[in-house]
Amino acid sequence: MRYFLFLGLLFHFIELGGQNNLSLNLQTSAGFEHNVFNRSGDAELRNSPFIQNKFKLSWKRKFNDSSFSTYVKGRHEVFHLINTANLRNLSLYSSYRKNLGRKVYFFIKATVWLNDSNRTMEDAEFNLTTTSYNKWNTRFGLTTRVIKQHKTSVSMYVADKNYTSEEARFHKYRELGFKLQNRLKLRKNKTLSQYLNSEFRIYQRRYQENITGNYKGSDTADMDARIFRFMELRLSYHVKIKRRFGLSPSFLFRKRTDVIENRFSYTHWEPRMEFSGMIGKLELSLRLSQGWRTFNNIFSETQTTRQLQLEYLKLNCLISYQINNSIEIKLNGHWQQRKRNVFDPSSSFYMPFINWNGTIGVCYIF
């Protein structure tokens, strides 16, 4: 069992406006984690205060038939567990959009991430996500409106991710993908608005496994590369009544296939339901989702097939109240229960945890 309590305070948020739409955002948060690990009947308690700092510098420029935007943002977190873990993340994003005529637009987007982390090996058994890496991706494609209510986007992208930590399972992976998005506006007026969104995505990843580092969890050290092919389908329907109450059912299907030896393949389903409502300046949002994932693992040593099933139930809650144009208070809640069947149907355990976080934001506009 795991419980997570978080309280964040946003001290200042500064936005500078100008002719070129230049803005600077600064954020400082302080929080507290309360964790209870329950593994094989043994519970362990850990308390961890932390501090988080964020910044974002963005610039936008519009021309007659094109537009350009870019931003750089960073984050620094310090966690105090039994030992200290530092997380540093820096990213740079740029995009360009060009009107080709007849409601057809060409776009290209590029993003670079630099993630650096530092922690001692004392916490390695808890699988903390503090592995250092650097990553980039480039996406280009076309967007068109066949009719006023219909928007279609076709794009292709390439991404690279390199792990700089010796204890990471993989050294790097390269991803190539194709994405088709469609948005259909069924109805929009002051009383009722309806949208139907769909997304189809095919991509392939080639992993280079770390067989020379300090990673100790791999039972396939003889393999120096893995290739996985993914197929995703997302469907969602959105309806809003009088711009105050909304309902959004959605569905996600994902299939992963091991290209080389058909090992470690899985199928994933996730239906989701979201409700939102606004009363005066108070806004409430609830989202319920449940997922099933079935793995098909084939072990070369015995040529046997074993299945690992993962089921989870999630509930998200967001309450926000806007005092005026400069001050907004938010309270976020997250509850999740997870059941995992580890190879043997008789060997299963539950991992429920609760996550609450609150933020008070103040915005100054010059």
E-state strands within the chain: 2-5, 13-15, 22-39, 42-62, 66-80, 84-101, 104-118, 133-147, 150-163, 170-188, 192-209, 225-241, 245-258, 265-279, 282-299, 304-322, 327-341, 348-350, 353-365
C-beta of residue 206 within 8 angstroms of C-beta of residue 227:
yes
Q: 262 in a domain, yes or no? A: yes
More confident residue, 35 or 148: 148
> Which structural domain range is residue 159 located in?
118-211+223-365
Q: 35 in a domain, yes or no? A: no
More confident residue, 293 or 85: 293
What is the model's pLDDT at position 255? 92
Q: CA 22 to CA 182: how far, in whole Å?
A: 31
Q: 96 in a domain, yes or no? A: no
Q: CA 155 to CA 5: how far, in whole Å?
A: 40
Q: 308 in a domain, yes or no? A: yes
Q: 40 in a domain, yes or no? A: no
List pLDDT tens digits, range 73-99: 998 877 665 456 677 889 999 999 998
List pLDDT tens digits, range 117-171: 765 444 444 444 456 778 888 988 988 876 667 788 999 989 888 877 665 566 7
Highest mean pLDDT among 26-35, 121-130, 289-298: 289-298
What is the model's pLDDT at position 2? 31
Segment among 106-110, 155-159, 322-326 with least mean pLDDT = 322-326
**For the chain, percent of residues with pLDDT exceeding 90:** 20
What is the model's pLDDT at position 301? 55
C-beta of residue 313 within 8 angstroms of C-beta of residue 334:
no
> Considering its fold, how many domains does the chain have in total?
1
CA-nearest of 154, 207, 195 to 178 is 154
What is the model's pLDDT at position 279? 85
What is the chain's mean pLDDT, rounded? 73
Q: Which whole number is the average pLDDT over 260-278? A: 85
Is 331's pLDDT higher than 70? yes
Residue-level length of the chain = 366
Q: 108 in a domain, yes or no? A: no
Q: 167 in a domain, yes or no? A: yes
C-beta of residue 332 within 8 angstroms of C-beta of residue 357:
yes
* Cβ neighbours for 303, distance < 8 A, ≥ 6 positions apart: none
Q: CA 140 to CA 249: how far, in whole Å?
A: 29
What is the model's pLDDT at position 294? 82
What is the model's pLDDT at position 11? 36
C-beta of residue 322 within 8 angstroms of C-beta of residue 281:
yes
What is the model's pLDDT at position 58? 86
Q: 169 in a domain, yes or no? A: yes
CA-nearest of 159, 162, 82, 63 to 114 is 162
List pLDDT tens digits, range 170-225: 678 889 999 999 998 888 887 888 999 999 999 998 887 655 544 444 444 444 57
CATH code, 355? 2.40.170.20
What is the model's pLDDT at position 202? 95
